[in-house]
Amino acid sequence: GQQLNQSPQSMFIQEGEDVSMNCTSSSIFNTWLWYKQDPGEGPVLLIALYKAGELTSNGRLTAQFGITRKDSFLNISASIPSDVGIYFCAGQLRTGTASKLTFGTGTRLQVTL
Amino acid sequence: NAGVTQTPKFRVLKTGQSMTLLCAQDMNHEYMYWYRQDPGMGLRLIHYSVGEGTTAKGEVPDGYNVSRLKKQNFLLGLESAAPSQTSVYFCATRGREGRSYNEQFFGPGTRLTVL
């Protein structure tokens, strides 16, 4: 099955630094979603993107839907300790009724004080 | 309002044993999904359901069966567990319309080890 290429795999940054991660696919998607997973919990939706070129913010998070519809980027500004976790991108192609998601392999973020 | 709950939270099985994982939701969502999460692999879809009484195969369905007898419950069964099924299993739900149409809500996960 298809998996999205997500990079970097892991990041170690200092508190206050900005973070960038991206996701690329060999096929197009109608929707890009970014999730965060805390240890021992299920993923929680951070941002959803619905149109090519769209730039959307949620607090310190900003995400963009690539023009080619094959990629997406997530930026976190001024990182804080609670940003620690695994970030997943997910692409959605709305065919049929199930609108299944394809997930990236995740970016593990560690924030040091 | 509990959202999406999963039972059990942890389980250890021996090869060949069977078990059922339960997902329950109180959001009146039509769609329900079962994923497995393995290190470095992200989440992969096992089976899903678009409504009560219907199920369909996902990306990695082999070795699993599912049932959706009630709208609020989605069961994942392992008839004869294998070590390759050691994983963390997540259930997710999604609504049919409105803001919840694109968002899948995840449960807290079930960590399964098969010896």
Distance from CA of A14 to the nearest CA of B (A): 24
CA–CA dist B115, B109 (Å, integer): 19
DSSP string for residues in B34-63: EEEEETTTEEEEEEEEEETTEEEE-SS-TT
Give me the pLDDT at residue B40, please.
Answer: 76
pLDDT, tens digit, 9 for 90 and up, residues B49-78: 999 999 999 999 999 999 999 999 999 999
Give me the pLDDT at residue B96, please.
Answer: 76
Residue B108: is it exposed, middle or buried by C-beta count within 10 angstroms (0-12/13-18/19+)? middle
Whether A4 contacts chain B with CB within 8 A: yes
Contact yes or no for A1 and B44 at CB 8 A: yes
Looking only at the bridges linking them, the beta strands covering B110-114 and B10-13 are parallel
Give me the pLDDT at residue B99, please.
Answer: 59
Across the range A57-74, mean pLDDT stands at: 96
Return phi, psi of residue A32, to 5°: -115, 140
Contact yes or no for A88 and B41 at CB 8 A: no
Contact yes or no for B108 and A104 at CB 8 A: no
* CA-wise closest residue to A27 among A8, A7, A4, A50: A4
Whether A40 contacts chain B with CB within 8 A: yes
Q: Check if the beta carbon of residue A22 is closer than 8 Å to that of residue A32.
A: no
pLDDT, tens digit, 9 for 90 and up, residues B1-29: 679 999 999 999 999 999 999 999 999 99
Q: Per-residue pLDDT for A101 more than 90?
A: no
Whether A93 contacts chain B with CB within 8 A: no
